[in-house]
């Protein structure tokens, strides 16, 4: 079963076709990146952008690559040739001058974005962070107590949606711990992260390490770790049933637990296995700790099932857990897919930390914004994951003048973000694979896939 969910697994094991990636930069180091851009050459071509790390690189578990030099996009691509599906995209559609190319190197540097963000946005307040933990935990227990007290068929569906959303909120706070944006104290981050993530069956350190890789390589076809594209070669290797299920809702929105055990197509390793190639030797103790905490929570749930009854535990915990999983997969998918205009993915010399980060998307979730700690404010989070969640909105507002057209204003939501279901469905019908070749590629549609014929 773990093999037919979108971007997380396939119906059958897939051959590993990519070489083991090389050393990358850490999410902490990204805050210290200093970029130096050269002026335009006389022939009008954009020069290469050079990025240098502010501190000595470390041998990370996944040994991912972060090229130091970013070259300009080929002239053929600039002229809109039919390369990797680009001619089908209508680049510049909806743009006033029709000339904006989302795959072109930006005219600004990472340092310019950083300089535009007020200094206080970088400050971490552990007391304020803990206040959100106390608030969310109180709501979780309050909802469970109320549902158990009323125990009525009309109450349970409301409880499942509300509690599943709160589980997702707990994950976001643990996510901040993993980035170090919760506080400047690593021990506090680790303790709180383990308590929050273990309570919703997430192995804290295992997830933290792979998520770090996602941030280090966002927008890279092969090296990204989360919801990255299938190459056409892998896509074509799947049988028809597998392809259909991979892009048929709700199956893709149930991917996360399976991903924790098996990762994505073309990649190997488990987030629970300390000997997995996800991790380096000095991280194995951390992984063991997280796996033990996860196992303790699983054992507690089994014991409570004997005490309270399995049906009651299913209603109180099991169904909200799967609502949480759907929230997690929905939000993380839409951060990187489903925009009205196609967005690029990169390989080789065309990839850079900045260009990859600029292909992420902000989303508006209405009243859910506050509940899940503004995680929809995602572009600035991806570029600077050290910024606490309670400063992301202000930091984004300050950075928008620098980002210009590279920032895609999210569509405003009503009280609940029902409009995002349309973006999700459209993306599932159109975004199937990318070309096996090319350093700037876009999602392409398989017209043979059931359901894709009806998409625009």
Rounded Cα–Cα distance for residues 413 and 435 (Å) = 34
Residue at 65 is within a domain: no
91 versus 189: the higher-pLDDT residue is 189
Rounded Cα–Cα distance for residues 284 and 271 (Å) = 11
The CA–CA distances, whole Å, from 402 to 85, 109, 358, 405 equal 29, 9, 12, 9
pLDDT surpasses 50 at 13:
no
Q: pLDDT at position 449, please? A: 85
Q: Which residue, 327, 197, 309, is CA-closest to 255?
A: 327
Residue at 257 is within a domain: yes
Residue at 92 is within a domain: no
Rounded Cα–Cα distance for residues 307 and 24 (Å) = 48
Positive or negative, the CA dihedral 183, 393, 359, 419 is positive
139 CB neighbour count, 10 Å cutoff: 17
Residue at 419 is within a domain: yes
Q: pLDDT at position 26, please? A: 42
Residue at 414 is within a domain: yes
The answer to whether 194 touches 293, Cβ cutoff 8 Å, is yes
How large is the average pLDDT for residues 413-436?
Answer: 94
Reported as a single tens digit per residue, the pLDDT across 75-111 is 333 333 334 544 444 444 434 445 789 999 999 999 9
Q: Which residue, 68, 69, 58, is CA-closest to 25?
A: 58
Rounded Cα–Cα distance for residues 86 and 344 (Å) = 10
Task: Report residue 300's pLDDT band, with 50, 70 and 90 as the boundaries.
Answer: very high
Task: Report residue 131's pLDDT band, with 50, 70 and 90 as the boundaries.
Answer: very high
Range with the poorest average pLDDT among 65-74, 174-183, 214-223, 408-417: 65-74
Residues 6+ apart with CB under 8 A from 329: 252, 253, 254, 255, 256
How large is the average pLDDT for residues 41-55?
Answer: 40
Give residue 216's domain range: 119-454
Residue at 102 is within a domain: no
Residues 6+ apart with CB under 8 A from 445: 429, 430, 431, 432, 452, 455
Residue at 60 is within a domain: no
pLDDT surpasses 50 at 127:
yes
The number of folded domains in the chain is 1
Residue at 108 is within a domain: no
């Amino acid at each position: 079963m773990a093999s037919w969910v979108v971007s997380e697994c396939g119906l059958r094991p897939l051959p590993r076709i990519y070489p083991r990636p090389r050393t990358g930069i850490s999410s902490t180091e990204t805050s210290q990146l200093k970029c130096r851009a050269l002026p335009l050459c006389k022939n009008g071509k954009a020069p290469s952008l050079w990025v240098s790390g502010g501190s000595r690189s470390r041998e990370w578990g996944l040994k991912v690559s972060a090229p130091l030099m970013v070259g300009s996009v080929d002239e053929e691509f600039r002229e809109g040739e039919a390369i990797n599906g680009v001619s089908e995209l209508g680049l510049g559609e909806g743009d006033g001058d029709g000339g904006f190319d989302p795959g072109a190197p930006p005219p600004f540097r990472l340092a310019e974005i950083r300089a535009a963000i007020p200094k206080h946005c970088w400050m971490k307040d552990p007391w304020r962070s803990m206040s959100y933990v106390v608030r969310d935990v109180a709501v979780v227990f309050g909802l469970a107590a109320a549902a158990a007290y009323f125990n009525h068929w009309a109450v349970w569906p409301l409880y499942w949606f509300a509690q599943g959303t709160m589980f997702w909120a707990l994950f976001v706070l643990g996510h901040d711990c993993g980035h170090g944006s919760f506080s400047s104290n690593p021990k506090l981050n680790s303790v709180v992260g383990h308590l929050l993530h273990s309570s919703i069956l997430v192995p804290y350190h295992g997830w933290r390490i792979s998520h770090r890789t996602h941030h280090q390589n966002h927008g890279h076809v092969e090296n990204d770790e989360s919801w990255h594209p299938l190459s056409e070669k892998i896509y074509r290797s799947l049988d028809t049933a597998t392809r259909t299920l991979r892009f048929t809702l709700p199956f893709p929105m149930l991917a996360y637990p399976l991903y924790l055990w098996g990762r994505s197509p073309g990649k190997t390793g488990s987030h629970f296995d300390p000997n997995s190639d996800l991790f380096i030797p000095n991280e194995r103790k951390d992984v063991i700790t997280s796996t033990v905490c996860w196992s303790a929570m699983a054992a507690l749930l089994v014991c409570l099932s004997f005490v309270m009854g399995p049906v009651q535990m299913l209603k109180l915990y099991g169904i909200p857990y799967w609502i949480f999983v759907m929230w997690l997969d929905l939000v993380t998918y839409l951060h990187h897919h489903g925009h009205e205009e196609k967005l690029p993915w990169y390989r080789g010399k065309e990839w850079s930390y900045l260009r990859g980060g600029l292909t992420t998307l902000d989303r508006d979730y209405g009243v859910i914004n506050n509940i899940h700690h503004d995680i929809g404010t995602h572009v600035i989070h991806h570029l600077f994951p050290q910024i606490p969640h309670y400063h992301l909105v202000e930091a984004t507002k300050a950075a928008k003048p620098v980002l210009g057209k590279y920032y895609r204003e999210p569509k405003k939501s009503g009280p609940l973000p029902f409009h995002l279901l349309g973006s999700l469905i459209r993306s599932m019908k159109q975004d199937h694979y990318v070309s096996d070749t090319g350093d700037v590629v876009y999602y392409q549609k398989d017209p043979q896939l059931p359901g894709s014929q009806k998409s625009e």
